[in-house]
């Protein structure tokens, strides 16, 4: 009897372990078959983004045009957008106000359900999460949670993801400096909303109608490319 119980427990443990392994490996990009909910204090990634700006037909192409201005090309349509207040940088550092150059995956979409409702415009494969009032993102280079999702309250330096402004009403997490995470190389690079088109802290920003249109047209192999 005891042997049977032990064997059954072992099989359950192996099944759970395999499930966790698969879930972690499947969280490498914006692709997901179902709506997801964050259940721990980190997001897991394992595929390193590329700084090679070679592109594919389904990529979002962001071209720096000077200052903090840029143009965004996607599916043969050009949009206005804004980048870091200090321009772009191939060697980004935390707090330098620049947007990193390179080609990066989009990891997941956060959205404010109380403001935009259910984002049915997003493709079915999109990994999406409802933003709650205790959600944040660590930007403290000395923290073990640097450049990762965190629950609030959280003592180290962080960004609140639940804002009174519309900046984070909907945004995509750009897969920059997350595989592996390197301290002081920059954090919280998002593709988010702007109404002013002023310089950002390093993110890519565009008007909400345009952002909704671009995110709604994503393909499973879409990356975002920042170039000059």
pLDDT grade for 30, boundaries at 50, 70 and 90: low
The yes-or-no verdict on residue 123 having pLDDT over 70 is: yes
221 contacts: CB under 8 Å, gap ≥ 6: 56, 58
The yes-or-no verdict on residue 195 having pLDDT over 50 is: yes
**Least confident window among 37-41, 124-128, 180-184, 211-215:** 37-41
Predicted local distance difference test score (pLDDT) of residue 133: 98
Q: Which tokens belong to 176?
A: 């920059």
pLDDT digits (tens, 9 = 90+) for 13-27: 444 344 433 433 334
The yes-or-no verdict on residue 150 having pLDDT over 50 is: yes
Question: Cα torsion at 133, 198, 201, 114 (round to 10°)?
Answer: 10
Burial class of 146 by CB neighbour count within 10 A (0 to 12, 13 to 18, 19+):
buried
- Give me Rg for the CA atoms of the chain: 19
Tell me the average pLDDT of the chain.
Answer: 85
| Helix, strand and coil in the chain, % to nearest 5 | 15, 30, 55
Predicted local distance difference test score (pLDDT) of residue 55: 85
| CA-wise closest residue to 225 among 56, 95, 66 | 56
- For the segment 85-99, the average pLDDT, to the nearest whole number, is 98
In the three-class reduction of DSSP (H, G, I as helix; E, B as strand; rest coil), residue 12 is classed as helix
Buried residues in 105-125 as b, exposed as e (16+ CB within 10 A): bbbbbbbbeeeeeebeebeee
The yes-or-no verdict on residue 153 having pLDDT over 70 is: yes
Domains observed in the chain: 2-227 (2.40.440.10)
| CA-wise closest residue to 174 among 118, 216, 222, 134 | 222
pLDDT grade for 52, boundaries at 50, 70 and 90: low
């Amino acid at each position: 009897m005891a042997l049977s119980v032990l064997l059954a427990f072992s099989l359950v443990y192996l099944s759970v372990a395999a499930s966790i392994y698969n879930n972690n490996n499947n969280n490498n990009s914006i692709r997901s078959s179902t709506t997801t909910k964050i259940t721990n204090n980190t997001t897991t990634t394992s595929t390193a983004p590329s700084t090679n700006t070679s592109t594919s037909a389904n990529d979002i192409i962001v071209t720096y045009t000077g200052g903090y201005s840029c143009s965004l090309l996607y599916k043969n349509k050009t949009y206005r957008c804004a980048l870091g207040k200090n321009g772009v940088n191939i060697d980004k550092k935390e707090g330098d106000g620049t947007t990193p150059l390179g080609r990066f995956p989009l990891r997941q979409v956060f959205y404010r359900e109380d403001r935009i409702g259910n984002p049915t415009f997003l493709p079915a494969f999109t990994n999406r999460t409802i933003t709650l009032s205790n959600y944040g993102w660590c930007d403290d280079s000395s923290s073990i949670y640097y450049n990762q999702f965190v629950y609030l309250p959280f003592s180290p330096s962080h960004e609140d993801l639940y804002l009174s402004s519309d900046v984070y009403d909907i945004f995509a997490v750009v897969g920059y400096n997350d595989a592996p995470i390197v301290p002081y190389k920059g954090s919280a690079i998002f593709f988010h909303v702007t109404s002013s088109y002023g310089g950002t802290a390093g993110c890519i920003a565009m008007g909400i109608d345009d952002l909704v249109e671009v995110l709604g047209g994503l393909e499973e192999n879409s990356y975002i490319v920042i170039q000059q």
